[in-house]
Amino acid sequence: MSSSSSVPGAAQAAGLSVPREQAVVRFAGDSGDGMQITGARFAMETALAGSDLATFPDFPAEIRAPIGTTFGVSAFQIHFGSVEVATAGDDLDVLVAMNPAALITNISDLRRGGIVIVDKGAFTERNLTKAGYTANPLEDGSLSDFTILPLDIGRLTEAAVAGMGLTSKQTGRSRNMWALGLVLWLYDRDRQVTIDWITKKFGKDPAIVEANVAVLNAGHAFGETAEFPNFLRPVPIGPAPVEPGVYRTVSGTEALAWGLVAGLRAAGLDRMVFAGYPITPASPILHALTGLRAHGVVTFQAEDEIAAIGAAIGASFGGALGVTSSSGPGIALKTEALGLAIATELPLIVIDSQRAGPSTGLPTKTEQSDLFQAVLGRNGDAPMPVIAAATPSDAFEVAIEAVRLATKYMTPVFLLTDGYLTNAAEPWRIPDVTTLPSFPVAFRTDPEGFQPFVRDPATLARPWARPGTPGLEHRIGGIERDAGSGNISYDPDNHARMTETRAAKVAGIAADIPEQAVAQGEEEGELAVVGWGSTFGPIHMAVQRARLAGRKVSHIHLRYISPLPRNLGDLLRRFDRVLVPEMNNGQLVMLLRAAYLVPAERFSQVNGKPFKVSTILGAILERTREHPTGGAA
């Protein structure tokens, strides 16, 4: 089997192809078919084999939509390779479709010649109709571009558990293990860790353990013994060249949660109050932090989004680190309280797992359209730092940085992530905790000369004076505060001075963050592709391929969006053109144009999905010249 992916459009025209050491597999089925578990197990076996990987769970907003419907299809995609893998992959090499709905909604992403494994037992008249097929695609030749493996997975599963005393419902629910066994065979993966996992998960019911292991093994054995076409044999994809160390897989959620804990330690604080209200796709962060009490994390499920940020602000006033988390609509509700945190200059971290909007939008689909909301969306002149995670593991570092900025500058900080990053996972080299940053907080304790708004001349931060400290009793609030005492002040000049000071404090952070580096390529050239957030992966790969083809293109990726890095304007001006791919209708591009008067160009995608590498590559090729000496393979 070939494991190459086709690159359509301009990229194909340029004669480019991706390396052959990688593959993209998607498991798709009903919401209740266990596709997320199947994908996660396959990802774990792949990670343990040392391959680099990126995963993309894609599920509907409905928990259990009616069986067999297209809107109930849940999918899990994994891209893995013996080379660097930075995205969840463009086109599929293998699609597992557990029913007609899964096939019809996913087949368009399968590359020509790709393999589609279908459970043909699920291709009943009824299921075909529900999916919208008028004829059975397994029989009418419409899949002739692909290699179809129509297998009666239901019946094969039943055969594997015959005599084990399972109900038909229990048997049906283990079909996913059969498919997993077969795909593990296809990529020559081990099964032991999956078997261990099954044993642990269903440990209370040995019959279920036995059955699931039998089904998994049956799928694997089927691959070994079936008379597949000659080209269909195991494709070992080996380990990727990575730095030595101890690795694990990490999702954006886990990295973010653990980064907050690491930040808490770095700040020398013993308590974080994380207050949230359930919302897709941000809830997993609240789940991940609940249960970390031993690490100083107190989670609070508030009655609404406003109460969540309120409790977080109250906690920061009380001397703990207040953190709140939500997605776009919930962030909108928190906006008034954010103004209070800015006005009273309290440390606070606000995590926005962005999803497609406006309003409820597409709750389970990813977007980057809250950038304006984060940077600009408040009443009054209300600046606050905004930073963004680029990859699941990057969320660890970004969370630590958010804690640093919040505590050092006594300010709320926006940490932007998105639905894709929250759910996606990748291998991660576990850092040596002794090398992590340290930025201990110095609470004010000395009453001598204390005034709550007399600032550190270097950072312009006001002191953090915790209730319980004798002699530092003071009052703060949302009404404009006197520049020293913090008492109510309606003085016009004081308000002007405070407005300017708040702006200067946040702007001053630019001196305390790294200069903007070029992620890939030279510091000048024909084209700079500027991204932020989860577009890192596709931009990185697209720029890499374009550069292999000799194009003079560089990738600039922003972690800091407000304030922007101090050298960014100069850097952008060294390129003939600036292209800004974003999963929104053009937000960073507007900020860059406003800040630097550079002719940055919008490149939007708002279909709720991550960019494909080929999409960005095509845009790069259209905007750069071919060079005869270029090294395109």
Partner 1 sequence: MTTATAPVPLQPKDFASDQEVRWCPGCGDYAILKAVQKVLAELGASRENTVFVSGIGCSSRFPYYMSTYGFHTVHGRAPAIATGVKLANPALDVWVMTGDGDGLSIGGNHMLHVLRRNVDLQIILFNNEIYGLTKGQYSPTSRQGTRSPTSPAGSIERPLSAATFALGAGGRFVARGIDTQQGPLVEVLKRAHANRGASFVEVFQNCLVFNDGVFDGFTDRKVAEERQIHVEHGKPLLYGKGRQKGLRLNPAALTLETVTLGEDGVTLDQVMVHDETNRTLAGMLAALEGPAPVALGVLYCAPVTSFTSAVYAGGEAVTGELDALLRQGKTWEV
Give residues 337-396 in contact with partner 1 (rule: CB under 8 A): 337, 339-340, 344
Q: Within 10 Å of residue 453's Cβ, how many Cβ atoms?
A: 20
Give yes or no for a contact between 625 and 550, defined as CB atoms under 8 angstroms apart: no
Q: Which is nearer to partner 1, 336 or 523 (CB)?
A: 336
Nearest CA-CA partner of 56 in 74, 29, 33, 68 = 74
Asked if omega into 392 is within 30° of 0 (cis), the reply is: no
Give Cβ neighbours of residue 280 (< 8 Å, ≥ 6 apart). 61, 327, 355, 363, 364, 419
Give yes or no for a contact between 356 and 365, defined as CB atoms under 8 angstroms apart: yes
Q: Which helix (H) or strand (E) holds 96?
A: strand 92-97
Q: Which of residues 178-197 bind partner 1 (CB under 8 A)?
A: 193
Nearest CA-CA partner of 41 in 233, 243, 168, 200 = 200
Q: Which is nearer to partner 1, 278 or 599 (CB)?
A: 278
Which residue among 312, 375, 398, 529 contacts partner 1 (CB under 8 A)?
312
d(CA 123, CA 138): 8
Q: What is the rounded radius of gyration, in angstroms, for the C-alpha atoms of the chain? A: 26
Q: Which is nearer to partner 1, 80 or 575 (CB)?
A: 80
Q: Pinpoint the alpha helices (H) of 49-152.
A: 100-106, 125-131
How far apart are CB 605 and partner 1 at their closest, in Å? 34
Q: Which is nearer to partner 1, 32 or 339 (CB)?
A: 339
User: What would the two tokens of residue 332 be?
Assistant: 């909108």
3-state class of 118 per DSSP?
strand
How far apart are CB 48 and partner 1 at their closest, in Å? 5
**Does residue 67 belong to the site contacting partner 1 (CB under 8 A)?**
no
d(CA 460, CA 500): 11
Nearest CA-CA partner of 285 in 325, 328, 329 = 325
With tokens 């013994």, the residue in question is: 225
How far apart are CB 223 and partner 1 at their closest, in Å? 24
Give Cβ neighbours of residue 286 (< 8 Å, ≥ 6 apart). 274, 276, 278, 299, 301, 325
Residues facing residue 529 across a β-bridge: 555, 579
**Does residue 329 belong to the site contacting partner 1 (CB under 8 A)?**
no
Taking CB under 8 A as the binding criterion, the range among 103-111, 140-148, 334-342, 365-373 that sits at the site for partner 1 is: 334-342
Q: Which is nearer to partner 1, 211 or 240 (CB)?
A: 240
How far apart are CB 514 and partner 1 at their closest, in Å? 24
How far apart are CB 475 and partner 1 at their closest, in Å? 4
How far apart are CB 143 and partner 1 at their closest, in Å? 37
Which residue among 59, 317, 409, 603 contacts partner 1 (CB under 8 A)?
317
Taking CB under 8 A as the binding criterion, the range among 146-154, 163-171, 301-309, 497-505 that sits at the site for partner 1 is: 301-309
Q: Which is nearer to partner 1, 275 or 583 (CB)?
A: 275
Q: How many residues bind partner 1 (CB under 8 A)?
A: 72
Nearest CA-CA partner of 460 in 404, 486, 498, 413 = 498
**Does residue 198 belong to the site contacting partner 1 (CB under 8 A)?**
no
Which residue among 104, 122, 138, 307 contacts partner 1 (CB under 8 A)?
307
Asked if omega into 281 is within 30° of 0 (cis), the reply is: yes
How far apart are CB 173 and partner 1 at their closest, in Å? 24
d(CA 537, CA 425): 13
Q: Which of residues 481-520 bind partner 1 (CB under 8 A)?
A: 487-488
Q: Which of residues 271-290 bind partner 1 (CB under 8 A)?
A: 271, 273, 275
Q: Which of residues 45-64 bind partner 1 (CB under 8 A)?
A: 47-48, 50
**Does residue 478 belong to the site contacting partner 1 (CB under 8 A)?**
yes
Q: Which of residues 214-253 bind partner 1 (CB under 8 A)?
A: 239, 242-249
**Does residue 165 belong to the site contacting partner 1 (CB under 8 A)?**
no
**Does residue 201 belong to the site contacting partner 1 (CB under 8 A)?**
no
